Chains A and B, each alone.
Chain A
Amino acid sequence: MSDNAVAVKDGQAEQPNDPSQKSISRWEYTRRQMKKTWPGYVMVAPFLIMFAAFTIIPVVVSFFLSFTNFNMLEMPEFCAMDNYIRLFLEDDLFLTAFQNTLIFALTTGPISYILSFLLAWFINELSPRVRSLVTIIFYGPSISGSAYLVWKLIFQGDIYGLANGALMKFGLITKPIVFLQDTKYIVPICIIVSIWTSLGTAFLSFIAGLQGVDRSLYEAGAVDGVRNRWQELWYITLPSMKSILMFGAVLSITGAFGFGGIVNNLCGNPSTDYVAWTLQHHMADYMNARFEVGYASCISIVLFVLMFGANLFIKNALSKVGR
Chain B
Amino acid sequence: MKRLRTRKHAVVLNRSVGGDLSITILLGIFGLFMFLPVYYLIITAFKPIGEMFLTPPNFYVIKPTMQNFIDLFASMTSTWVPISRYIFNTVFISLGATVGCLIIGSMAAYAISKVHFPGANVIFQMIVYSLMISSTVTGIAHFIIFVALGWLNTYTISIVPIWASTLGLYLMKNFIDASIHDSMIEAARIEGASEFRIYLTLVMPLVKPAWLTLMITVFQQVWNAGASSYVYSENLKTFDNAINSIISASGTQGAGAAATVLMMSVPMIVFIISQSKIVETMGSAGMKD
Contacts and interface: CB of A to CB of B under 8 A. Distances in A.
A296 B108 contact: no
B120 A207 contact: no
B166 interface: yes
A150 B41 contact: yes
Interface string B253-285: 100110010011001100110011011111101
Interface stretch (A8-16, A91-99, A131-139): A131-139
Contacts, number: 330
Contacts of B289: 243, 246, 315, 318-319
A148 B19 CA distance: 33
A146 B137 contact: no
B37 A141 contact: yes
Interface string A183-205: 00000000000001001010011
Judged by DSSP, the binding face of A is helix
A61 B112 CA distance: 27
A228 B161 contact: no
Contact of A258 (B4, B12, B134, B276): B134
B285 A250 contact: no
B133 A215 contact: no
B4 A204 contact: no
B7 to A, nearest CB: 10
Interface residues of A, number: 115
B143 A287 contact: yes
B138 A162 contact: no
B44 A136 contact: no
Contact of A160 (B13, B40, B55, B143): B55
Tell me what chain B mostly uses at the interface: helix, strand, loop, or mixed.
Answer: helix
B37 A154 contact: yes
A149 interface: yes
A12 B190 CA distance: 20
A296 B38 CA distance: 37
Contact of A250 (B103, B131, B276): B131
A238 interface: no
B82 to A, nearest CB: 22
B71 interface: no
B195 A43 contact: yes
B57 A165 contact: yes
28 contacts: A38-B117, A43-B115, A46-B107, A54-B161, A59-B137, A65-B144, A119-B27, A134-B27, A137-B34, A144-B38, A146-B244, A146-B260, A147-B37, A154-B40, A160-B53, A160-B54, A165-B54, A208-B280, A209-B286, A219-B4, A228-B16, A243-B287, A244-B285, A258-B135, A260-B136, A297-B140, A308-B129, A315-B289
Interface of B: 2, 4, 6, 11-16, 19, 23, 26-27, 30-31, 33-35, 37-38, 40-41, 44, 52-57, 103-105, 107-108, 110-112, 115-118, 120, 123, 126-145, 147, 160-161, 163-164, 166-167, 169, 186, 189-190, 194-196, 199, 217, 220, 223-224, 240, 244, 247, 253, 256-257, 260, 263-264, 267-268, 271-272, 275-276, 278-283, 285-289
Interface of A: 1-2, 30, 33-34, 37-41, 43-44, 46-48, 50-51, 53-59, 61-62, 65, 72, 115, 118-119, 122-123, 125, 132, 134-141, 143-151, 153-154, 159-162, 164-166, 168-169, 196, 199, 201, 204-205, 207-209, 211-212, 215-216, 218-219, 222-223, 226-230, 232, 241-244, 246-247, 250-251, 253-255, 257-258, 260, 280, 283, 287, 293, 296-297, 300, 303-304, 307-308, 311-312, 315, 318-319
